[in-house]
Homo-oligomer: A and B are copies of this chain.
């Protein structure tokens, strides 16, 4: 499923320059093409797209044919520019907004994750959307939805229900498009919060590859000294994407399972304007050290127009391009980092972790940013590529060989 040279896929999360995701309600092919020209011009090979669920399925029994046509049309427009497309399904959650159909609200309030009728409705939706694009040669992957764990606690769930939901959606998508990878998508509380009702298992065992989203506003930036224009960014900030990639690779039972850095971006104020280029270069160089890295998809393609209101301040300025299609410094840095990609070393040491996230999700806090394990990994990885290995798997020499792990290092005693 990966590039035979081991070169990761490089792309961008497509945030339409015209009207943000509301642009789906008035899809204008010329606008889409113009956005995709920007991205193709940067040397990217794919976009990740986010159809908006309640507009496509406004009634549980109605999936709008015209909306499916729009999704397929976006794939065709991408194909014109040589771009592959990863399609996310249940949006769901986008940049602080929950898009939820009226049939799960107020009088019809019921959990997206646990109500049998809702899950049945979602299955119909998934079948229809994936079915509408399955024949497109540039369909790259299908994702359950964008960070669906953000729909909790608004929607009840528990770890068993969350996993069952993901397996249902993945199975439905796979049946509709058996030839492309199907991926589950969760933000990083899944790795760090011991009470989170979505488990690392969901990322590393469900679907065809693991996906991670690296956002340094998750608390990791606070591990470093306070940011300042005249001081370089700290190691926690610069290595967080690599840390998540390594955690996902270390947790998967399949030592060959690829990891998709599906979202990474340079948010203010954690990454100030003078630090953007260094952030991009070092973040990606660190991630490239993992032989399991399948792809990188930058968040996001285009800035948001200021006429749109109520978004968190940082969301307006995350684009590679302005809404006027001007490439920003982050875009040039991303293109340069891609050019500088080199294969990961065939062998590297691993830091042994007491916690196996599959077996002990209640111990997730022990690998969270700022804790001893994270600090040890981030400091040691400054000296060169460093894998992570759960202690419980240290005796599996075949898996170690497959992962290219040589020397095993222990956490310094405290």
Interface residues of A (CB under 8 A from B): 19-20, 22, 25-26, 55, 58-62, 64, 66-67, 96-100, 102-103, 105-108, 117, 154, 307-310
- Chain B residues contacting A19 (CB-CB under 8 Å) are 62
Please state if B98 and A61 are interface contacts (CB–CB under 8 Å): no
Of B62, B96, B107, which is within 8 A of A107 by CB? B96
Please state if B97 and A103 are interface contacts (CB–CB under 8 Å): yes
Task: Give Cα A60–Cα B100 distance, bound, in whole angstroms.
Answer: 16
Chain B residue at minimum C-beta to C-beta distance from A65: B26
Report the copy number of this chain in the oligomer.
Answer: 2
| Nearest CB of chain B from residue A64's CB, rounded to whole Å | 6
Please state if B309 and A61 are interface contacts (CB–CB under 8 Å): yes
20 A-B pairs in the complex with CB atoms less than 8 angstroms apart: A20-B59, A22-B62, A25-B55, A25-B66, A26-B64, A26-B66, A60-B309, A60-B310, A61-B308, A61-B310, A98-B102, A98-B105, A98-B106, A98-B107, A100-B102, A100-B105, A100-B106, A105-B154, A106-B154, A117-B310
| Nearest CB of chain B from residue A196's CB, rounded to whole Å | 17
Task: Give Cα A98–Cα B107 distance, bound, in whole angstroms.
Answer: 8
Please state if B25 and A64 are interface contacts (CB–CB under 8 Å): yes
Please state if B108 and A59 are interface contacts (CB–CB under 8 Å): no
List 6 extra interface pairs beyond A61-B308, A98-B105, CB under 8 A: A20-B59, A22-B64, A55-B55, A97-B107, A100-B106, A103-B310
Task: Give Cα A67–Cα B68 distance, bound, in whole angstroms.
Answer: 19
- Chain B residues contacting A103 (CB-CB under 8 Å) are 97, 310
- Chain B residues contacting A102 (CB-CB under 8 Å) are 97-100
- Chain B residues contacting A96 (CB-CB under 8 Å) are 107-108
Please state if A59 and B308 are interface contacts (CB–CB under 8 Å): yes
Of B26, B66, B307, which is within 8 A of A61 by CB? B307
Task: Give Cα A286–Cα B108 distance, bound, in whole angstroms.
Answer: 36
Chain B residue at minimum C-beta to C-beta distance from A21: B58
A25-B55, A55-B25, A106-B154 known; A62 and B308 CB under 8 Å? yes
